[in-house]
Amino acid sequence: MHIPVLLEEAVAQWSATEENPKIKPGIYVDATFGEGGHSRLLLEKTSVDKRIIVIGIDRDPAQIKKPRTNFRKFIAEKKIFLFNDQFSNIAEITSSFQNKNKINLPVRGILFDFGLATNQLRARRGFSFQASADPLDMRFNSREDQLTAAAVLNTWREEDLARIFQEYGEEKYARRAAQAVIQHRNKKEITTVKDLLEILEKVLARPYRNQKIHYATRIFQALRIAVNSEYENIQQGLAGALAVLGEHGRIAAIRFNSGEDRLVKNFFRRESRDCVCPPNVPNCICEHQKTLQILTRKPLRPSLEEIKLNPSSRSAKLRVAQKI
């Protein structure tokens, strides 16, 4: 069973209810719908208000298909509309929805919850290193996306593998892992989770024996991010969210690794400044105007009680900004 991370906190920030107990009429976009936990809570809080609409977006078709049954009531009431798409297209999705349905309500809040849902770890696509027989796929949308984790491992150059292991996984032994992959694939193709684990065990198990995380965690994270172009999509998604957000609307983002956090933090910082010229430029030439006010100088984190109930929430951080 999937447990939404920072459920109450995220919905309160997404809908601005920590300042005003009444959620304002408008459109609320759940850009990483998953199993819909955050959307469900918001809809339950506003079940009698027809002027509150949720747009749910998810790249994984399975994540959209399942809620069509679980959210039948809200779908019938036209309180929620689901789209199988990438959140990098959030501006086009939202604008098209407003125009097609002739809805004049502003976009009040946009929520991003990066990472994986529990059911995706069980989807037999190679996301989890605990399912050794699974193929190394790691695509969120296997119907439309072509690149797989197996293709990355079997065709990319050593320097490119080392780069993604280091940049996307922050793996200290990135070069060592990349060399081991190359040596193995020269003899035999890498196709399953088991194949990759056997490679990594030889070079990473010993250095990780006294650490809390599994020796394969960072490599699997790096491959998933590379296969799905996650960091590029985050940058595009944040820019698109800002473009369609209404006045005083909010962007709330839950992240699970430092790379995601860096992208969100840097975007919020840039958009909260009037000038983004390099420090060595004496007079402003960028003509940039700030568009956001950062509401969380320090990110919100799960309580000890939540972490105890849901250990996977321990690395989550929630950052929030409001459009000026």
CB half-sphere exposure, 198, CA atoms < 13 A: 13
pLDDT at 126: 95
Distance of CA 77 to the CA centre of its chain: 28
Q: Is 198 left (phi over 0), alpha (psi -120 to 50) or beta?
A: alpha
- Phi, psi (degrees; rounded to nearest 5) at 51: -95, 10
Which value, in Å, is the radius of gyration of the alpha carbons in the chain?
21
Pairwise CA distance, residues 222 & 171, whole Å: 9
The total of other beta-carbon atoms located within 10 Å of residue 211's CB is: 9
* Residue linked to tokens 């780069």: 163
Q: What is the pLDDT of residue 17?
A: 80
Rounded to two decimals, the pTM is 0.94
147: three-class secondary structure by DSSP: coil
312 Cβ contact list (under 8 Å, min separation 6): 3, 5
Q: Note whether 150 and 137 are within 8 A (CB).
A: yes
Q: What is the pLDDT of residue 69?
A: 73
**Residue among 102, 224, 95 nearest 165 (CA):** 224
pLDDT given at position 67 = 67
User: What percentage of the chain carries pLDDT values higher than 90?
Assistant: 81
Residue 184 has phi, psi (to 5 degrees) of: -70, -45
Which of 50, 79, 70 is CA-nearest to residue 2? 70
Q: What is the pLDDT along the chain (324 residues), one digit of tens a residue?
A: 568 999 999 999 999 887 777 899 999 999 999 999 999 999 999 887 889 999 999 999 988 887 677 799 999 999 999 999 999 999 999 999 999 999 999 999 999 999 888 778 777 899 999 888 999 999 999 999 999 999 999 999 999 999 999 999 999 999 999 999 999 999 999 999 999 999 999 999 999 998 889 999 999 999 999 999 999 999 999 999 999 999 999 999 999 999 999 999 999 999 999 988 988 888 889 889 999 999 999 999 999 999 999 998 999 999 999 999
Q: For strand 317-323 and strand 52-58, is the pairing parallel, antiparallel, or unpaired?
A: unpaired
Query: What domains are there in the chain, each with its CATH number?
Result: 7-118+230-323 (3.40.50.150), 146-227 (1.10.150.170)
Could you tell me the two tokens for 246? 């209404």
CB 296 within 8 A of CB 282: no
Residues facing residue 153 across a β-bridge: none
DSSP codes, 229-261: THHHHHHHHHHHHHHHEEEEEEEEEEESSHHHH
Residue 232 DSSP code: H
Q: Which two tokens stand for residue 235?
A: 């940058």
Closest listed residue to residue 1, CA positions, set 115, 122, 108: 122
Q: Which two tokens stand for residue 38?
A: 């955050």
